[in-house]
Amino acid sequence: MLQIPELLAPAGDLERLRYAVNYGADAVYCGLPEFGMRSAPANFTPEQLAEGVIYAHARGRKVYLTMNTLPTNEEADRLPEAIRAAAAAGVDAFIVADLGVLDACKTYAPQIDVHLSTQVGITNYAAATAAYKMGAKRVVLARELSLQDIAIIRDKTPPELELEAFVHGAMCVSFSGRCLLSTYLTGRDSNRGQCAQPCRWKYYLHEENRPGSMYEIGEGKDGTYILNANDLCTAPFLDLICKAGVDSLKIEGRAKTFYYVASVTAAYRQALDQYLADPMNDNFELAPQTLDELTRTSHRHYSPGFFFGPEAARQSTDSAAYLREWEFVGTVESWENGVAHCQQRGKWSLGDTLEVLCPDGRSIPLAPEWIENEAGERVQSTPHAMELYTIPTPELPPMSLLRKKNTV
């Protein structure tokens, strides 16, 4: 019987959850203000978490809650209340990295599944099996594993144990994200959701006996980004990840925008559906429009990560800059009688190269002949933040997203 992998998308807040669900995610993962590995995003209040669970469950989707920091003694005292509240909200699983948190989840919400986070560093079948014996329903595999490593783990672990792997997004230079640089250099603990991303900084060599002398370490006139990992992108070989036995395909990005979440989720939904349409095909070739979609978000240069071994993983040592070929500029609130009612999220002007991304993954070129503002005036551009305006378009569903091609 064909195993149908789950597509798992990030949700930094309630808005991003809605976009992830509507753009094709089977499940989302999110966090509360405490105990999650992302302190920068808005995150969810307990009330918003309950609302998000209702929204997702009504559409047949699941919600997993990240509780994968390494708590202090004081924080451990607050675990029971947080776990009970999340269980009452109806989450489908907890994602944990600490044995104490695992035990607390089993004690205070035994009916809720537990997934072991990538922070645990599951790199072999023995560790995965041990996790299963401790009560884990799923393990999130270390990002350093190859396809062969994953296949061996699948073959040598209980079939009831689910395997999850990251398939897209930012990569950490430290093993499975367990970074000490941020704490050492800035006092912000990356293992508690506060990473300052020092791996993206410029670095020079300094010779201690020559004060003021700074030496470049390689590429680039502005220094070398010796720790800067490329972004992971596996869409071109998603079939191989599925065939290796991965049950859940995870997109990184709880700190990313809802446009990023929507675009990347839509692309991987297309890639996964293409594989599932002909899973016995050993000559999988990703549809060009799917790969094109993955160039329409802000991202670093792409890499296959460690799936083909460490020699295939790449770094951009000359720059930590993002590639931004397209810019998100608006949402479609509604459509009627050939006119889309939109809200501004970025400036664009008549004559710009525009596209609209629909929740079903279609990308439609647009060349509107006019823009009408809230006062009913015809204007040449949309310069005002969050302003409402209308443009002529073919029929578009709500939650469609407008973007323009950058000219520089």
Spans of all domains in the chain:
6-174+229-312, 326-405
Mean pLDDT (whole number) for 368-380:
97
Phi and psi dihedrals of 76, rounded to 5?
Answer: -60, -30
The pTM score is: 0.88
Q: Which of 220 and 254 is assigned the larger pLDDT?
A: 254
With a CB cutoff of 8 Å and minimum separation 6, the contacts of 306 are 143, 144, 145, 146, 312, 313
Mean pLDDT of the chain: 90
Q: Is the dihedral of CA 100, 106, 112, 114 positive or negative?
A: positive
Q: What is the pLDDT of residues 337-348, one digit of tens each?
A: 999 999 999 999
- pLDDT-derived band at 43, boundaries 50, 70, 90: confident
Task: Classify domain 326-405 at the CATH topology level.
Answer: Elongation Factor Tu (Ef-tu); domain 3 (2.40.30)
305 in Cβ contact with 232 (< 8 Å): yes
Helix (H, G, I), strand (E, B) or coil at 326: strand
DSSP letter, residue 74: H
Over range 334-338, report the average pLDDT: 97
342, β-bridge pairs: 332, 389
The confidence score (pLDDT) of residue 319 equals: 65
Predicted pLDDT at 224: 53
On whether the CB atoms of residues 344 and 385 are closer than 8 A, the answer is yes
Reduced DSSP (H G I as helix, E B as strand, rest coil) percent helix, strand, coil of the chain, to 5 = 30, 25, 45
Helices (H), 298-402: none
CATH for the stretch 6-174+229-312: 3.20.20.70
Are 365 and 404 spatial neighbours (Cβ–Cβ below 8 Å)? no
Position 19 pLDDT exceeds 70: yes
The radius of gyration computed from the CA coordinates of the chain, to the nearest angstrom, equals 22
Comparing CA positions, the residue from 392, 295, 294, 402 lying closest to residue 357 is 402
CA 193, chain centre distance (Å): 15
Nearest Cα neighbor of 262 from 29, 7, 18 is: 18
pLDDT of 222 higher than 60: no
The pair of three-digit structure tokens given for residue 84, joined into one six-digit string: 């009970």
- Residue 42 pLDDT > 80: no
Of 133, 170, 212, 173, which Cα lies nearest the Cα of 301?
A: 170
| pLDDT tens per residue, range 126-179 | 999 999 999 999 999 999 999 999 999 999 999 999 999 999 998 876 555 566
